[in-house]
């Protein structure tokens, strides 16, 4: 029987064989990498040692051998990580995140999603691993341990993002994620809210087209409460205000115009030294809205 190599059945069969062979090769290559990552993780510390794993795997040689196959393996590792995430398997979840970002460090989502899992999701698993507190003393001990885990994992999340910034310098998504971790997971740690403000402003400088990081950085600096930080927030807004477009609703130029004027009044800026920017053409003001009323340290 002669096989028609141009037939639909031949083409579909060849495609299916190619896909199956690719998956098999991926599994063969990925298995030893995962095993080695797991071994290093268990040997060095309970949490993943993000700084050393790439070197321990022989990253330069390994990635050179894999060549263009790295991207497929990275995607596969990232998908594999979600399987472990669903099982609340911390070591393998972190190992797969590290492996994915080692294989392909230029994917922004790997870093931002990974940092979120490390800083937010993994600490939430603690309550599933211990008996429910039944006494006040047990509840207090549980809360203290949970806070400790939150802080440890938040720091790991920040270190993970710092590693990402080595490959994607000044990426506003990574900088903004760092700011959120400082703000949402470490707000009870001295100096964390100032760090959050500064990371937001770094993100604002990295992109002139997204305005939330700028507003949030100014908000947090002002909310620290002391005059030095409030003057810094005012000076930053005064510098950036002329660059803010009026025709983009998300920029909220009317709100920032009111904010600038309220800052000048609160700081008692002399009339001669005030900005005196013209009112935006499409200005509208909510009589019940006070621009500085919500500028509190928690960002509310």
pLDDT of residue 52: 47
> pLDDT by residue (tens digit) across 39-48?
544 444 444 3
Distance CA 33, CA 156 (A): 22
Residue 177 has which token pair? 């994620």
> pLDDT by residue (tens digit) across 20-63?
555 555 555 555 555 555 454 444 444 434 444 444 445 555 55
Strands (E), the chain: none
pLDDT of residue 285: 78
pLDDT of residue 69: 76
* Confidence bin at 66 (pLDDT 50/70/90): low
Instruction: Give the gyration radius of the chain's Cα atoms.
Output: 25
Distance CA 74, CA 97 (A): 9
* Confidence bin at 72 (pLDDT 50/70/90): confident
Element (H, E) at 64: helix 59-66
* Confidence bin at 160 (pLDDT 50/70/90): very high
pLDDT of residue 149: 95
Least confident interval from 26-30, 217-221, 248-252: 26-30
Distances in Å between the Cα of 31 and the Cα atoms of 21, 77, 127, 134, 267 are: 15, 10, 31, 43, 61
> pLDDT by residue (tens digit) across 141-157?
999 999 999 999 999 99
At residue 167, does pLDDT exceed 90?
Answer: yes
Closest CA to 292 of 269, 258, 246: 258
At residue 18, does pLDDT exceed 80?
Answer: no
- Is 200 in contact with 216 (CB distance < 8 Å)? yes
**What is the 8-class DSSP label of residue 251?**
G
* pTM reported for the whole predicted model: 0.77
Residue-range domain boundaries for the chain: 14-133
pLDDT of residue 49: 43
Least confident interval from 127-136, 182-191, 227-236: 127-136
For 260-286, the DSSP string reads HHHHHHHTT--GGGS--PPPPTT----
Residue 29: helix, strand or coil by DSSP?
A: helix
How confident is the prediction for the chain on average, in pLDDT? 82
For 203-241, the DSSP string reads HHHH-SS--HHHHHHHHHHHHT-SHHHHHHHHHHHHHHG
Geometric angle at alpha carbon 123, from 119 and 124, rounded to 5° = 120
pLDDT of residue 56: 47
Distance CA 146, CA 127 (A): 8
Sequence-ordered alpha helix ranges (H) in the chain: 8-44, 50-56, 59-66, 70-86, 90-103, 108-116, 122-124, 126-129, 136-167, 172-185, 192-206, 212-223, 227-240, 253-266
pLDDT of residue 241: 95
* Confidence bin at 292 (pLDDT 50/70/90): confident
* Confidence bin at 284 (pLDDT 50/70/90): confident
Phi, psi of 198 (to 5 degrees): -70, -35
């Amino acid at each position: 029987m002669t096989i028609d190599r141009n037939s639909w059945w031949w083409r579909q069969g060849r495609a299916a064989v190619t896909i199956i062979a690719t998956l098999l090769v991926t599994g063969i290559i990925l298995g030893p990498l995962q095993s080695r990552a797991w071994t290093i993780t268990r040997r060095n510390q309970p949490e993943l040692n993000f700084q050393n794993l790439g070197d321990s795997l022989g990253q330069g040689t390994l990635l050179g051998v894999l060549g263009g196959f790295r991207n497929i393996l990275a995607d596969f590792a990232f998908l594999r990580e979600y399987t472990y995430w669903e099982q609340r398997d911390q070591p393998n979840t972190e190992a797969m995140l590290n492996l994915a970002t080692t294989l392909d460090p230029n994917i922004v989502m790997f870093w931002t999603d990974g940092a979120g899992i490390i800083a937010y999701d993994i600490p939430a698993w603690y309550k599933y691993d211990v008996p429910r507190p039944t006494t006040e003393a047990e509840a207090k001990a549980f809360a203290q341990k949970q806070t400790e885990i939150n802080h440890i994992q938040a720091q790991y999340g920040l270190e993970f993002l710092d590693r990402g910034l080595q490959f994607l310098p000044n990426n506003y998504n990574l900088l903004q994620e760092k700011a959120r971790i400082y703000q949402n997971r470490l707000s009870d740690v001295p100096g964390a809210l100032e760090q959050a403000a500064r990371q937001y402003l770094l993100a604002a400088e990295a992109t002139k087209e997204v305005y939330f990081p700028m507003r949030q950085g100014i908000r947090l600096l002002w909310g620290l409460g002391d005059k030095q930080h409030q003057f810094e927030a005012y000076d930053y807004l005064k510098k950036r205000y002329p660059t803010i477009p009026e025709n983009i609703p998300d920029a909220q130029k009317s709100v920032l115009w009111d904010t600038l004027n309220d800052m000048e009044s609160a700081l008692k800026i002399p009339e001669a030294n005030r900005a005196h920017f013209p009112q935006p053409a499409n200005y509208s003001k909510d009589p019940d809205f006070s621009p500085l009323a919500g500028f509190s340290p928690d960002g509310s």
